[in-house]
Chain A
Amino acid sequence: MRTVKILVVCGTGIATSTVVSRKLEEKLSKEGFEVSTRQCKASEVSANLEGIDLIVSTTPISGELKVPVVRTLAFLTGIGEDQAIEEILQKLRGGDKVKKEDVRKDNKNFYERRNSNDIK
C-alpha cells in the first residue's frame, strides 16, 4: 500500500476542504493508497507544501508550485467524481519517481509536525 500526502485547499481550509478530504480518504483507499490529508487556505498553500505529493483544490490557487494540482468540484457536486479520481490517480502514479523510503520518511515527519503544532 502506497502512502500519499495530499494537501486539500479551499477558501477557508475548513469548509469544503473537509468534505473533499474525507472523500479522498474513502475513494483512494479503495485504490490501494493510504491517504493522509492536510487542509489549508488558498493563501497558505506555499507554506504547506513540504512533503506533499499532490494538491487538490476547490478554489483557484496561484503562484509557482512544484507539486501537481487538481482543481475539482466533483466531490462537492457529486458529478464527475470518477473522472476526478481518475485524474488524481494519474497524477499520483506519474509521481511514482519518489522512492517509497523517502515517502515514508517524509510521512513520519508529517505526523510529527501534525502532532506537535497543528490540529488538523
Chain B
Amino acid sequence: MTLNDIISGLGVTVLLPVILFVLGTFFRIDVKRLFRSAVLIGVGFIGINLILGYFLNNLAPAAQKMVEFTGVNLPILDVGWPAAAAIAFAGKIGLFVIPITVLVNFLMYVLHLTDTIDVDVWNYWHFAFTGGLVYALTNNLWLGMLASAIDAALVLVLGDWTAPAVQQYYGIPGISLPHGFSAAYVPIAIPINWLLDKLHLDKIQADPESIKKKWGIFGDPVIIGLVLGLVVGFLGNLKTLNDAKSWFNILQLGMSMAAVMYIFPKMVSILMDGLIPISEGVRDFMKARASGRKFYIGLDSAIAVGTPAAIASSMILVPIAIILMVVIPQNRMLLAVDLAVLPFMVVMTIPITRGNILKTVIIGTIIIAVGLLIGTSLSPLFTKAAIQAQFKMPSNATQISSICDGSNPLTWFIVKLINSWYGVVILLVVLVLFLYFYRTHSKVWEKIAGAVEVTEENK
C-alpha cells in the first residue's frame, strides 16, 4: 500500500481533520478543543458533499433537458462558493495552504513587502483554489503551491493598497481586506470608474435604501433559488407540459433549488466553526511575531458587505447577471448558487465609486460579463479539481464552475500563465513591478483606490 493509496483510501473527510489537528498542535491549541473542532471540519465536509450531490443530481438532468429542448445551451452548473471552497481545501494544495500562506505573509511582512497580517484563515481557500486548478492542469504539486503563494502575495499587496480607502469608507481603522475574490476586482474597477467619471455619471445618485425596498426580492437567495428551479424545470419539461408529472417535477425542482440556496451556506458555517481554533492559533502566532512595526489586520470582506450600497447594487446585478448569461453567446454557465455572492464582488469597488450605485452596477455588469467567459473557460479544470478532491459527479458529462472563484480574473490570470516557464517569469515580474510601484508611490496609488487625503480641513 503506497502513501497515495492511503490518502485516497482515507478520503478528505478523515484526512483533513487529521492534518488540521497536527497543524493545530504546532500552533499550541488546547488539545480537547482542537480535537472537537477537527472532527467538526470533517462533519462540515460531509455536509457540503451531501448538498453538492443533491444539487447536482437534481439540477443536472433538468439542465440537460433544457439544453436539448430549448437550445438554451448552459450545461455548466454554478455550484457556488460553498462548493468551491470545499473543493479548494479538500484538494492536495488545500492540505498545505495554511502553512504556505502563513509563510508567504510572514516573509513579506518581515521584508517590508506587506503591511497586512492576514488572520482570515477561512479565506485562504481562494489561494488553495488557484493552486488546485493549477494542480489539475499540470499534475505538478510544486507548481500548484507556487500558484497559491503568488496568489496570496498579490492579494496581500492588493489588501495593502486598498486599506486606507476601505478603512475610511467603512470606518474600520487598522483593518485591510486581503480577500482573494473581492480584492481581485479592484484593478479592473479603477480604470472603468475613471472612464465613468469622465462621462459625468458620478453626478447621478440613487438612494440605496429605496432600492433595497424595491428590489429586495433579488437579495433573498431562497426566492432566487425557487424561481431559478421553476424556470429551469419549466424549460426542461417544455415538450411534456400536458403531463401532470412534468409539473410535479417543475415544482419539486423549484423547492430543491430553494433548499440548496438555504442549506448550502449553513454547511459552510459548520466548517467555519471547526476552523475557529486554528484561525485563532494562526492569528496569535502571527501577531506575536509582527509586533515590531505597525500592521493592518487582514479580515474577511464579509465585514463590509452589509453596507447599503453593496446590498443595493448587487440586488440590481442579480437580474442583470441572469440576462447576461442568456444573451452572451459564448457563455455556457447556468448561474445558480453564486447569484448570492455578488455583494462580495462589488464590496471593494464601492470605496472607489464612493458608493455610487449606478457606477457600481456598470462596473459589476462588465465584471460579470467577462466573468461568465472566464467561468466557462475554467470549467474543465474546475470539474477536474472537484474530482481530484473526491467530490462525486452524477455523470461524466457533468461540468461545474462558479462565480467565486471560477470566474475570478486573478485566478484565471495565474492559471493561464503558470504552465510555461515564461509564464512564471511574467507572473513574478508582474508581482515585483506591482510591489515596486505601489511601495514607492503608495500615497498616489491609495488615492486612486478611493482613499481621501487627510488634510487639516477634513480631519
A14: B residues at CB distance < 8 A: 265-266, 268-269, 272, 302
Across the interface, B175 reaches (CB within 8 A) one of A18, A63, A73, namely A73
| B336 touches A (CB below 8 Å) | no
Q: What is the 8 Å Cβ interface bit string for chain B, positions 327-350, against chain A (1 contact, 0 not)?
A: 000000000000000011001000
Top 7 A-B residue pairs of the complex, sorted by shortest distance between their CB atoms? A11-B305, A42-B306, A59-B306, A11-B302, A18-B272, A15-B302, A58-B303
**Inter-chain contacts of B297 with A (CB < 8 A):** 76-77, 79
C-alpha spacing A42/B312, complex, angstroms = 12
Q: 8 Å CB contacts to B: which residues of A22-46?
A: 22, 39, 41-43
Q: How far is the CA of A66 from the CA of B302 in the complex (A)?
A: 24
Interface string of B289-306 (1 = CB under 8 A from A): 000000001011111111
Known: A12-B305, A59-B304. 16 other contacts (CB 8 A): A15-B122, A15-B268, A15-B302, A16-B299, A16-B303, A18-B276, A19-B276, A42-B307, A57-B306, A60-B171, A63-B209, A73-B172, A76-B120, A76-B297, A77-B119, A119-B263
A107 to chain B, nearest CB (A): 22
Q: Of residues 56 to 92 in A, which have CB atoms within 8 Å of B's CB atoms?
A: 57-63, 73, 76-79
CA A120 to CA B265, docked complex, whole Å: 10
In the complex, chain B residues 71-128 whose Cβ is within 8 Å of any chain A Cβ: 119-120, 122
User: Which residues of chain A are within 8 angstroms of B299 by Cβ–Cβ distance?
Assistant: 16, 73, 76-77
Bound state CA distance, A16 and B275, in angstroms? 11
Nearest residue (CB) in B for A58 is B303
Interface residues of B (CB under 8 A from A): 119-120, 122, 170-172, 174-175, 209, 212, 216, 219, 263, 265-266, 268-269, 272-273, 276, 279-280, 283-284, 287, 297, 299-308, 310-311, 343-344, 347
- With an 8 A cutoff between CB atoms, is A7 at the interface? no
19 cross-chain CB contacts under 8 A:
A10-B303, A11-B303, A14-B269, A15-B269, A16-B300, A18-B272, A19-B272, A43-B212, A43-B216, A58-B302, A59-B302, A59-B303, A59-B305, A60-B308, A62-B209, A62-B308, A76-B297, A76-B300, A78-B284
Is the pair B279, A19 in contact by a Cβ cutoff of 8 Å? yes
- Candidates A43, A76, A78; contact of B219 at CB < 8 Å: A43
Q: Which residues of A contact B347 (CB under 8 A)?
A: 11
Which residue of chain A lies nearest to B175 when distances are taken between CB atoms in the complex? A73
Chain A residue contacts of B216, Cβ below 8 A: 43
Among A11, A18, A19, A39, point to the contact of B306 (Cβ < 8 A). A11
Say whether A42 contacts B279, CB under 8 Å: no
Query: A interface, how many residues as a size bin?
Result: 20 to 34
- The answer to whether A73 touches B306, judged by C-beta atoms less than 8 angstroms apart, is no
Known contacts: A15-B272, A73-B299. The answer to whether A60 contacts B306 by CB under 8 A is: yes
Q: How far is the CB of A118 from chain B (nearest CB, A)?
A: 9
Q: Is the CB of A41 within 8 A of B306?
A: yes
A52 CA to B265 CA in the complex, in Å? Answer: 23
Query: With a CB–CB cut-off of 8 A, which chain A residues contact B268?
Result: 14-15
Task: Specify the chain A residue showing the minimal Cβ separation from B212.
Answer: A43
A22 touches B273 (CB 8 A): yes
Min CB distance A19 to B, Å, is: 6
Instruction: Mark each residue of chain A from 77 to 120: 1 if its CB lies under 8 Å from any CB of chain B, else 0.
Output: 11100000000000000000000000000000000000000011
Is the CB of A54 closer than 8 A to any CB of chain B?
no
- On chain A, the residues within 8 Å of B303 by CB distance are 10-11, 16, 58-59, 73, 76
Q: A59-B306, A73-B172 are in contact. Are A78 and B272 (CB under 8 A)?
A: no
Partner of A10, one of B219, B306, B308, B310: B306
A12 to B265, Cβ gap below 8 A? yes
CB distance from A8 to the nearest CB of B (A): 11
Chain A residues with CB under 8 A of B300: 11, 15-16, 76
